[in-house]
Amino acid sequence: MGNDSVVPVTLEPVGPLPILDDSAIERVLCVVAHPDDMEYGASAVVAEWTSRGIEVGYLVLTSGESGIRNLAPAVAGPLRAEEQRRACEIVGVADLTILDFPDGLLEPGLALRERIARHIRRFKPDVVMTMTWDLETLWGINHVDHRVAGLAVVDAIRDADNPWLFRTTGEEAGNEPWAVSLLLVTESRDTHAIPVGKQSVDLAVASLNAHKAYLAALPDHPPPEELVSSILGRTGKAAERDHALGVRAIRMG
């Protein structure tokens, strides 16, 4: 049994949702399954962090090549990757890596864990953010890729800190063990809120709008401004702030 633990907080707190103390955070790695996954509210916190000098990197496990019904994967993949690069620029993220795992067919296993663990060792974050691995979420049944990605991240964090896992002959530079101190899970059972200002909300909306081709293929998709403001406003109300991102905070170690 590991020592990982949810930051202590009552599941149904009396009073406002506690504010996460992020004053000591220096580097954050966000690991998600698809281009656009970070843009549903979480990118507002990224914009807030980068404005304070916190370095944030994105690791996207697939290029989302199967996500646009009327475009062949060979066309959609590069297009969605380029949209993700634009979204990153808007919120101040320069370090973007998109892996080549198959969109819609992400599988749990050592290959996925190893790629994530090695990236953690390279980027050396004190905090990792990912999406919930729960089957059911506030917005419906969770996508299989999201579920697989979330669980792989949990395991990869432990793997990255184990000197006997994923070693190579000669131990190449940048593959030394690395310990992540905190895991933040979005769209889960919130234990904390991270407040964001109006400018960061606007940047988050712009980052979602950067996925122009993807959104155009979803005619029933709510307007980005309406959707992002609703997501951040709901948690903001619970935290007695105007806008905030809800997270489940889990101490790792």
Query: What is the bridge-based pairing of β-strands 136-137 and 140-141?
Result: antiparallel
pLDDT per residue over 100-159, tens digit each?
999 999 999 999 999 999 999 999 999 999 999 999 888 789 999 999 999 999 999 999
Burial of 142 (0-12, 13-18, 19+ CB in 10 A): middle
Q: How far apart are CA 31 and CA 184, in angstroms?
A: 11
The per-residue DSSP string of 115-133 comes to: HHHHHHHHH--SEEEEE--
Q: How far apart are CA 120 and CA 178, in angstroms?
A: 7
Taking only the tens of pLDDT, the chain with its 253 residues reads: 445 554 443 334 446 999 999 999 999 999 999 999 999 999 999 999 999 999 999 999 999 999 999 999 999 999 999 999 999 999 999 999 999 999 999 999 999 999 999 999 999 999 999 999 999 888 789 999 999 999 999 999 999 999 999 987 555 667 899 999 999 999 999 999 999 999 999 999 999 999 999 999 999 999 999 999 999 999 999 999 999 999 999 999 8
> Buried b vs exposed e over 76-90: b needs ≥16 C-beta within 10 Å?
bbebbbebbbebbeb
Q: What domains, with CATH codes, occur in the chain?
A: 24-251 (3.40.50.10320)
Give the model's pLDDT for residue 1.
42
Q: How far apart are CA 88 and CA 84, in angstroms?
A: 6
CB atoms under 10 Å from CB of 177, counted, come to: 16
Q: Is 250 left (phi over 0), alpha (psi -120 to 50) or beta?
A: beta
Contact at 8 Å (CB) between 101 and 71? no
Entry pTM? 0.92
Nearest to 66 by CA among 40, 93, 38, 34: 34
Q: How far apart are CA 35 and CA 85, in angstroms?
A: 9
